[in-house]
Amino acid sequence: MTDFAATRARFHLPKGITYLDGNSLGPLPRAARARLEARLQDEWGEMLITAWNRAGWMDEPLRLGDRIGRLIGAPEGSVVVGDTLSIKLYQALAAALALRPERKRVLSDTGNFPSDLYMARGLIHSLGRGHGLELVAPEEIESRIGPDLAVLMLTEVDYRTGRRHDMQRLTRLAHEAGALVVWDIAHSAGAFRVDVTEALADFAVGCTYKFLNGGPGAPAFIHVAPRHADLALPALSGWLGHDAPFDFELDYRPARGIERMRVGTPPVLQMAALAAALDIFDEVDMAEVERRVAALSERLIQGVAQVAPQLDLASPPAPEARGAQVSFRFEQGYAAMQALIDRGVIGDFRAPDIMRFGITPLYLGEEDIDRAIEAIGEVMSKRLYEEPRYQVRSAVT
Ligand SMILES: *Cc1c(COP(=O)(O)O)cnc(C)c1O
């Protein structure tokens, strides 16, 4: 049984704040401070360069990868951390395209996170081999899978609405058409149950600063299905993905397995914080997290319907069709969210009109949801979003 009071106690949650934005940046695990301090003092400070071996810095991307692997149904040795998600997505797509050299069509949807689409376009441009990126509405994906498809590249959970694709079904359909699938699980890993093995995903990528709480700038991860691991072409052929980086050969030879997806020097300080965050997941049953997500989401949806009927539910009403977030449409959503943040309820806004609330049971309970409902009710009934000070846009929304 997951003790949610215990997991909550393991986070630093600022006084007076109700945090419903763990889908963008998870809160600080209390243990991260001591982990970072030890890394700074005992390792970097005292061991200097010998820490790469003595403190195990060099292999840490693989150890952390295995720990993430347990949360996403990936076998040992099939996940590695490093770089940012945009880069891991690029690597996965490049490898997938190289495994289907005769096909030129990449399919994704308009609900995908723009960075994934930008990276795909950049890759296609660099390849210069006439690939095309086709974008359709999420519900049209299925009908566009066909025998000329090279790669289906999707994010499981729509960052705006929280709508969730059926990973298993779409992967099976793509495979039947002879295509490969790259899944972005940025809004899935640590949020609910994921099983990339059961779904037969070819590649999966995600970040660790959202639901995994690894901290701002924490490294991303990439999973390559073992059946592809020794065939996948590392498009970003950096020295740490080389079979023998410290032989300093002039030619690149990819490492065996997932290690070839490493690029350069890992973010050693960030990995210390991520390790502290993953410790918390050791005590967590993701099936229970998923049930709590459904219950808390339902509570928020019902409560908002009562106090703020002006907000339109943008998320699917069925829990299994949704990730760990609830979104509402409201024309003045940006200003309304600023007014909420001013009252200590932090969610976020995604253009053009989405107010988004992350549902993270590791540190949120019924009382937090109720506080949020109350604040939403106040902002809407008093039309606080009309105040000029809430209209000013910051660079980061
Ligand atoms: C958060 C997110 C990103 C961000 O990528 P970074 O390179 O880590 O900044 C990319 N894609 C998706 C689907 C995301 O949810």
The one-letter amino acid at 187: H
Angle at CA of residue 16, ends 365 and 336, nearest 5°: 85
Cis peptide before 352 (omega within 30 of 0): yes
d(CA 238, CA 379): 51
Residue 163: strand pairing partners: 322
CA distances from 192 to 127, 163, 328 (A): 36, 13, 21
Q: Whose CA is nearest to atom 14 of ligand 1?
A: 186
Q: Is position 209 annotated as part of the catalytic site?
A: yes
Rounded to the nearest 5 degrees, what angle is found at the Cα of 251, between the Cα atoms of 245 and 256?
50
Residue of the CA atom closest to atom 12 of ligand 1: 113
Q: What is the mean pLDDT of residues 262-279?
A: 98
Whether the CB of 205 sits within 6 Å of ligand 1:
no
Quote the DSSP letter at residue 164.
Answer: B
Q: How far is CA 383 from CA 177, 225, 377, 390, in A?
A: 52, 51, 10, 11
Tokens of 21: 């934005």
Mean pLDDT (the chain) is 97
210 catalytic, yes or no? Answer: yes
Cα separation values, 379 from 30, 87, 249, 330, 384, Å: 32, 39, 63, 12, 5
Q: Is 155 in the pocket of ligand 1 (CB under 6 A)?
A: yes
Tokens of 381: 């009934």
Q: Is the CB of 187 under 6 A from ligand 1?
A: yes
Whats the size of the chain, residue-wise? 397
Among protein residues, the one whose CA lies closest to atom 2 of ligand 1? 186
**pLDDT, tens only, 115-152:** 999 999 999 999 999 999 999 999 999 999 999 999 99
Annotate 167-179 with three-state secondary structure: HHHHHHHHHHCCC
What distance in angstroms lies between residue 207's CA and the mean position of ligand 1's atoms?
7
328 close to 306: Cβ distance less than 8 angstroms: no
Catalytic residue among 160, 164, 322, 356: 356
Ligand 1 atom having least distance to the Cα of 86: 7
CB 349 within 8 A of CB 324: no
Q: How far apart are CA 163 and CA 26, in angstroms?
A: 20
pLDDT at 110: 97
pLDDT band at 395 (very low <50, low <70, confident <90, very high): confident
- For the segment 244-267, the average pLDDT, to the nearest whole number, is 97
pLDDT in tens, 316-339: 999 999 999 999 999 999 999 999
Ligand 1: atom nearest CA of 207 is: 8
pLDDT at 392: 86
Distance from the alpha carbon of residue 205 to the mean position of ligand 1, in angstroms: 10
Tell which one of 116, 182, 183, 213 to mutate to probe ligand 1, the residue whose CB is within 8 A of the most ligand atoms: 116
Tens of pLDDT, residues 147-181: 999 999 999 999 999 999 999 999 999 999 999 99
Q: Which of 11, 19, 90, 113 is catalytic?
A: 113
Q: Which atom of ligand 1 is nearest to the CA of 116?
A: 11
- Is the shortest distance between the CB of 375 and ligand 1 below 6 Å? no
Dihedral of CA atoms 76, 78, 82, 84 in degrees, nearest 10, equals: -130
pLDDT digits (tens, 9 = 90+) for 273-297: 999 999 999 999 999 999 999 999 9
For residue 209, give both structure tokens.
């600063």
Q: Is the four-CA dihedral 230, 275, 2, 17 of positive or negative sign?
A: negative
- With a CB cutoff of 8 Å and minimum separation 6, the contacts of 22 are 210, 211, 213, 358, 360, 363, 364
Q: How many angstroms does the Cα of residue 351 sit away from the middle of ligand 1? A: 16
Look at residue 397 in the predicted model and tell me its pLDDT.
Answer: 78
**Over 90: is that where the pLDDT of 60 sits?**
yes
Q: What are the residues facing 29 on neighbouring strands? A: 11
Place of tokens 């069925």: 318
Distance 203 CA to ligand 1 centre (A): 16
297 lines ligand 1 (CB under 6 A): no
Cα 29 to ligand 1 centroid, rounded to whole Å:
21
First-to-last CA distance in the chain?
A: 36
Burial class from Cβ neighbours inside 10 Å (0-12, 13-18, 19+) for residue 3 reads exposed
C-alpha of residue 303 to centroid of ligand 1, in Å: 30
Sole residue written with tokens 């050791």: 282
116 touches ligand 1 (CB under 6 Å): yes
Q: Which of 272, 323, 396, 347 is nearest to 138 (CA)?
A: 323
| Cα(384)–Cα(172) distance, integer angstroms | 48
Q: Which atom of ligand 1 is nearest to the CA of 220?
A: 8
Q: What is the pLDDT of residues 189-224, one digit of tens each?
A: 999 999 999 999 999 999 999 999 999 999 999 999
Amino acid identity, residue 63? R
Which contacts (CB < 8 Å, 24+ apart) does range 62-69 have? 62/258, 62/259, 64/219, 64/221, 64/271, 64/274, 64/275, 64/278, 65/221, 65/258, 67/275, 67/278, 67/281, 68/189, 68/206, 68/208, 68/212, 68/221, 68/278, 69/223
State which amino acid sits at residue 378. Answer: E
Q: How far is the CA of 85 from the centre of ligand 1 (A)?
A: 5
Alpha carbon distance 105, 362 (integer Å): 40
Confirm whether 113 is a catalytic residue: yes
According to the model, what pLDDT value does residue 326 have?
98
Strands 345-346 and 18-19: parallel
If you take atom 13 of ligand 1, which residue's CA is the nearest one? Answer: 113
Going from the Cα of 308 to the center of ligand 1, the distance in angstroms, rounded, reads 31
Ligand 1: atom nearest CA of 155 is 13
In sequence order, the β-bridge partners of residue 82 are 220
pLDDT at 12: 98
The predicted pLDDT at position 306 comes to 98
Residue 244 pLDDT class (50, 70, 90 cuts):
very high
